[in-house]
Amino acid sequence: MAVPSFFLLISILSALLMPLSGLQNVSSSTCMPAPPADRLPVYPSDLPRIQFALNLEHLEAAFFCYGALGHGLDVLAPELVMGGPPSIGAMKANLNPLVEDIIEQFCYQEIAHI
């Protein structure tokens, strides 16, 4: 029982010794950088590169989502596929529960990338 009480003592001491003066102005925007005056342009020559990267993210998301859940972006995030056709032939993989959970987390991470 000495180990948990040691951690309890350390957490209490750190809470008591923490300087509270810096936490009072958390909502102050004096340290925040100013937003840019105007947006950066996207040049027409950059559009194919951006589209290629976005297509890769869609591919990765579909791969992981179908593998773990058995359905793709048309079910999980229909606003991202913008009414595109559903996938054909994709199936849920036969995974053990641990790997299925990991692949499902990859799925949601890839959706966040899009």
The yes-or-no verdict on residue 23 having pLDDT over 80 is no
What are the pLDDT digits (tens) for 50-86?
999 999 999 999 999 999 999 988 888 888 888 777 7
Question: Under a CB-based contact definition with an 8 Å cutoff, are residues 58 and 113 in contact?
Answer: no
pLDDT score recorded for residue 36: 74
At 78, the amino acid letter reads P
The pTM assigned to this predicted structure is: 0.59
Q: Please report, for the chain, the start and end positions of each structural domain, with discontinuous segments joined by +.
A: 44-114
Tell me the torsion sign for CA atoms 48, 53, 69, 109: negative
